[in-house]
């Protein structure tokens, strides 16, 4: 269908002598030029992720051959928190973990943050923990004022090179994984939601076995 939109209809009409006149040649050259340009534009969307992001180390970062799935163990990782501590997902074994991928520039992320904070304050004494993984390139320079402005008290970790984000197959923000006390992924939630809704809070309570 590209041919019909780019090539002038006169190309399909030969001259009486079976050849192509000067005007036809000009049309042919114009068509080829347009096709070449269109091909270059299409190639922009198929560039490797490492080339598109300018990160030459992407090929050497650990990735799974298959993205984590509900019912499977959550892959372990180590990141640095906003307070400068190293944290591993496995450190929270025995807790229900709310693993949230977000960024300060993400509008929907900001919308759900107050509800996430209320969830944390309500259930943290029952073994509920939140690990909010920021993908901001600027790290603490942007996450610290963001945390202070919203009054967030749960753990914020930094993944500026998107290593863990790729490990979990995250392509959009926000994305949340719920991990049970045995380290198994029980839910994967795409997009923001109101975590104070009965359905959401009941799901957390079931994982915590709180009545």
**Cα–Cα distance measured from residue 165 to residue 102, given in angstroms and rounded to the nearest whole number:** 10
For the ranges 27-36, 54-63, 86-95, the maximum mean pLDDT occurs at: 86-95
Residues 6+ apart with CB under 8 A from 160: 135, 136, 137, 138, 139
Which stretches of the chain are DSSP H helices?
2-6, 22-43, 49-53, 107-123, 140-150, 163-167, 198-208
Closest CA to 171 of 41, 49, 58: 49
Whole-model pTM?
0.69
| Residue closest to 162 by CA, chosen among 74, 53, 75, 46 | 53
For residue 1, the model assigns a pLDDT of: 33
Q: What is the pLDDT of residues 110-150, one digit of tens each?
A: 999 999 999 999 999 999 999 999 999 999 999 999 999 99
Per-residue pLDDT of 157-197, as tens digits, reads 999 999 999 999 999 999 999 999 999 999 999 999 999 89
- The pLDDT of residue 103 is 98
Residue 73 has phi, psi (to 5 degrees) of -60, 140
Whole-number mean pLDDT of the chain?
78
Tokens describing residue 87: 């944290």
């Amino acid at each position: 269908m590209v041919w019909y939109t780019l090539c002038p209809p006169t190309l399909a009409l030969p001259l009486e002598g079976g050849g192509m006149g000067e005007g036809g040649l000009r049309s042919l050259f114009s068509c080829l030029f347009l096709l070449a340009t269109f091909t270059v534009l299409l190639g922009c969307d198929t560039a490797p992720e490492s080339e598109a992001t300018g990160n030459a180390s992407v090929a050497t970062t650990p990735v799974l051959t298959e993205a984590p799935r509900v019912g499977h163990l959550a892959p372990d990782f180590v990141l640095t928190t906003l307070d400068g501590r190293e944290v591993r997902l496995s450190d929270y074994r025995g807790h229900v973990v709310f693993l949230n991928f977000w960024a300060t520039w993400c509008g929907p992320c900001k919308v759900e943050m107050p509800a996430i904070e209320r969830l944390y304050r309500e259930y943290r004494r029952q073994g509920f923990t939140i690990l909010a993984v920021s993908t901001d390139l600027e790290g603490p320079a942007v996450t610290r004022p963001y945390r202070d402005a919203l009054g967030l008290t749960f753990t914020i970790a930094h993944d500026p090179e998107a290593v863990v984000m790729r490990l979990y197959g995250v392509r959009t923000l926000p994305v949340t994984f719920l991990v049970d006390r045995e380290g198994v992924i029980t839910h994967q939630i795409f997009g923001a939601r109101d975590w104070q809704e009965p359905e959401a809070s009941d799901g957390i309570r079931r994982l915590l076995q709180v009545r």
